[in-house]
Amino acid sequence: MTASPTAPAVRPAAATAPAVRTTAVVTGLGIAAPNGLGTEDYWKATLAGESGLGRVTRFDPSQYPSTVGGEVPGYVAEEHIPSRLMPQTDHMTRLALTAADWAVADAGIVPGDLPEYGMGVVTAASGGAVEFGQRELQNLWSQGKEYVSAYQSFAWFYAVNTGQISIRHKMRGPSGVLLTEQAGGIDSIGHARRHVRKGVPVVVTGGVDAALCPWGWVPQIASGLMSTESDPSRAYLPFSAEASGYVPGEGGAILIVEDAESARERGAERVYGTVAGYAATLDPAPGSGRPSALRRAAENALADAGLAPSDVDVVFADAAGTPELDRAEAGVLEELFGARGVPVTAPKSMTGRLLAGGAALDAATALLALRDGVIPPTAGVAEADPGHRIDLVTAAREADLRTALVLARGHGGFNAALVLRRAD
């Protein structure tokens, strides 16, 4: 037995520790959204203001006060997912695996060419794989425990997308799963950048969510924030005078966040942009009398990027769709940028709010906007409520875009902000 040493042997610093902060860039995107499956279909529809919202078909919504949702169109799982994975995956995980496949291919990454511990996976989650979970709860309670799937132990849980993506692409590096409700997409990208800065060359990140089943629907009704408008073109009108709540959707985006240097070395085909700044905050307890921390999240993300509000060319808003929450966000934007001081848009008006997928899709959309120099519209909203003194973009607008700010809020008080810059 070795005696307990009081001064343990000290090893030299790890050779892999980066001496300076590396730049994290986005080199690949994979998108599954209610108004388009695949990046270019989604982007084309989004610029055209084509909404993916409609009466829900994945279950019969007629008994519920809310009936409108955003469903991903034309997704045939068998075309994308190996048959052995079908029984162990929910619709959510299949969409996530597909988006991850596309993102990895878009980035031109061949996992076998990179060190196995040099690739990680960080995804956002919200309520897990709800439809799978509902089916197994029903099997248990209506038939008995023998009818519960052997896959239930992991197929529904919050870590499932990260686990399945890492297995599929043999990515063994630092990985994770973050839950901050709708803000999770930004937090996962911020965390991916953290890993890149610590020396992991490639991190697959973002979020894809899907809860369009009764057991995913009823909790959202209970939140009191969902729109009860049955006309899909009027159900989710963020920042409008007619804002009446939000519409849920499914899908999201997977992004490849990569160390700029190693992307260059491996000859990455494209760089969509740089993850220049990130910050997250938590609101104080309701009733504490202290102000919301959304503004501080935006300010900290800009400071992290070394930028001022005047450097921001477009804001992708959280756009909660309820009058009170819209007012709070518009107020923060006015404080930061002045009245109508920066173009503000909410393309999620065409997809609904995608839970853990929402902010990831906004980040992907912002990168496409930077790439093409065009701001996608907030569809269905003719003009912002005059009480919100923001320049709401209601038709696609061409602009010289260098810097985008993406904001997100998660139920319970989470705020997150991401600053993305165009690739030079």
Partner 1 sequence: MVRRVVITGLGVVAPGGVGVKEYWELLTAGRTATRAISFYDASPFRSRVAAECDFDPAAAGLSPQEIRRLDRAAQFAVVSTREALADSGLDVSALDPSRIGTSLGSAVGCTTSLEREYVVVSDGGRKWNVDHEYAVPELYRHFVPSSMAAEVGQEAGAEGPAAVVSTGCTSGLDSLGHAVELIREGTCDVMIAGATEAPISPITSACFDAIHATTPRNDTPESACRPFDRTRSGLVLGEGAAILVLEELESARRRGAHIYAEIAGFAARCNAYHMTGLKPDGREMAEAIDAAMDEARLDPTAIDYINAHGSGTKMNDRHETGAFKRSLGDHAYATPISSIKSMIGHSLGAIGSLEIAACALAMEHGVLPPTANLHEPDPELDLDYIPLTARERKTDTVLSVGSGFGGFQSAMLLARPERSAR
Q: Which residues, in sequence order, are bridge partners of residue 28?
A: 256
Q: Which member of 20, 63, 112, 398 binds partner 1 (CB under 8 A)?
A: 63
Backbone angles phi, psi at 258, to 5 degrees: -140, 150
In this structure, how many other beta carbons lie within 10 angstroms of the beta carbon of residue 257?
29
Supply the minimum distance, in Å, between the C-beta of residue 399 and partner 1.
31
Per-position b or e across 229-238, b if 16+ CB within 10 A of its CB: beebeebbbb
**CB nearer partner 1, residue 343 or residue 413:** 413
| Beta carbons within 8 Å of 328's beta carbon, 6+ residues apart | 292, 294
Q: Is residue 48 involved in binding partner 1 (CB under 8 A)? A: no
CB 194 within 8 A of CB 22: no
Of 303, 304, 411, 404, give the one whose Cα is nearest residue 362. 404
Q: Which residues, in sequence order, are bridge partners of residue 80?
A: none
CB 171 within 8 A of CB 164: no
Interface of this chain with partner 1, residues 324 to 383, rule: CB under 8 A: 355
**CB nearer partner 1, residue 244 or residue 371:** 244
Supply the minimum distance, in Å, between the C-beta of residue 280 and partner 1.
4
Q: Is residue 121 involved in binding partner 1 (CB under 8 A)? A: yes
**CB nearer partner 1, residue 38 or residue 199:** 199
**CB nearer partner 1, residue 55 or residue 371:** 55
CB 370 within 8 A of CB 422: yes
Residue 27: which H helix or E strand, with range?
A: strand 24-33
Q: Which member of 18, 110, 117, 261 binds partner 1 (CB under 8 A)?
A: 117
Q: Is residue 47 involved in binding partner 1 (CB under 8 A)? A: no
- DSSP letter string, 277-295: EEEEEEPPPTTS-PPPSHH
Of 268, 271, 121, 274, give the one whose Cα is nearest residue 192. 121
195: helix, coil or strand? helix
What is the residue type of 122? V
Draw the binding track, 10-39, toward partner 1 (x: CB under 8 A; -: no contact). xxxxx-------------------------
CB 403 within 8 A of CB 304: no
Q: Which member of 19, 20, 76, 285 binds partner 1 (CB under 8 A)?
A: 285
Supply the minimum distance, in Å, between the C-beta of residue 15 and partner 1.
9
Interface of this chain with partner 1, residues 200 to 259, rule: CB under 8 A: 214-224
Q: Which member of 125, 204, 370, 384 binds partner 1 (CB under 8 A)?
A: 125
Supply the minimum distance, in Å, between the C-beta of residue 124 and partner 1.
9
**CB nearer partner 1, residue 13 or residue 76:** 13
Where does this chain touch partner 1 (CB under 8 A) — which range of 246-254, 282-290, 335-343, 396-404? 282-290
What is the residue type of 212? L
Supply the minimum distance, in Å, between the C-beta of residue 251 and partner 1.
18
**CB nearer partner 1, residue 401 or residue 408:** 408
The C-alpha atoms of residue 209 and residue 157 are separated, in whole angstroms, by: 12
Supply the minimum distance, in Å, between the C-beta of residue 392 and partner 1.
28
Q: Which member of 57, 138, 228, 310 binds partner 1 (CB under 8 A)?
A: 138
Supply the minimum distance, in Å, between the C-beta of residue 8 and partner 1.
3
In this structure, how many other beta carbons lie within 10 angstroms of the beta carbon of residue 398?
9
Q: Is residue 101 involved in binding partner 1 (CB under 8 A)? A: no
**CB nearer partner 1, residue 76 or residue 285:** 285
CB 379 within 8 A of CB 51: yes
Supply the minimum distance, in Å, between the C-beta of residue 301 and partner 1.
11
Q: Which member of 48, 58, 59, 371 binds partner 1 (CB under 8 A)?
A: 59
Backbone angles phi, psi at 395, to 5 degrees: -140, 145
Structure tokens at 80: 């994308």
Where does this chain touch partner 1 (CB under 8 A) — which range of 68-76, 117-125, 384-392, 398-406? 117-125
In terms of C-beta density within 10 A (0-12 exposed, 13-18 middle, 19 or more buried), how is residue 79 classed? exposed
Interface of this chain with partner 1, residues 140 to 179, rule: CB under 8 A: 140-145, 148-150, 152-154, 157-160, 162-164, 166-167, 169-179
Q: Is residue 411 involved in binding partner 1 (CB under 8 A)? A: yes
Residue 213: which H helix or E strand, with range?
A: none
In terms of C-beta density within 10 A (0-12 exposed, 13-18 middle, 19 or more buried), how is residue 199 classed? middle
**CB nearer partner 1, residue 123 or residue 345:** 123
**CB nearer partner 1, residue 214 or residue 373:** 214
What does the radius of gyration of the chain's CA atoms come to, in whole angstroms?
21
Supply the minimum distance, in Å, between the C-beta of residue 346 and partner 1.
21
